[in-house]
Amino acid sequence: MKTTQIRELSAAEMSARIAELQEERFRLKFRGATEALNDPLRLRVIRRDIARLMTVMKEQTMSAGAKKTAPAAKAAPRARKVGK
């Protein structure tokens, strides 16, 4: 799944997709332990899709949180210690 496709999904759709992929990953790992998988690279693809979905969700929550809060005041620079 491409990142552009993921960004078009709503938060509920992303959560549902993550749950589906985690279920599929569990089943494949379990089946892979008992027999040879037809497509063992599918596990890697699923893992990366889950990571992409979670990253986009995190980005969206971070950007939504940043819009709600006002920018914090910048802290004053710290004084440096000069020699001993």
Q: Judge whether 77 lies within some domain.
A: no
Q: Quote the CA–CA distance of 13 and 65 in Å, as a whole number.
A: 20
33-43 pLDDT per residue, tens = 999 999 999 99
Which domain, by its residues, includes 37?
Answer: 3-65
Domain containing residue 12: CATH number: 1.10.287
- Quickly tell me which residue has 């985690």 as its tokens: 22
Q: Judge whether 61 lies within some domain.
A: yes
Q: Give the per-residue pLDDT at 11.
A: 92
Q: Quote the CA–CA distance of 45 and 1 in Å, as a whole number.
A: 9
Q: Judge whether 84 lies within some domain.
A: no
Q: Judge whether 75 lies within some domain.
A: no
The tally of domains found in the chain comes to: 1
Of all residues in the chain, what percent carry a pLDDT higher than 70?
Answer: 89
More confident residue, 33 or 65: 33
Q: Judge whether 83 lies within some domain.
A: no
Distances (CA, A) of 16 to 11, 20, 28, 71, 77: 9, 6, 18, 33, 46
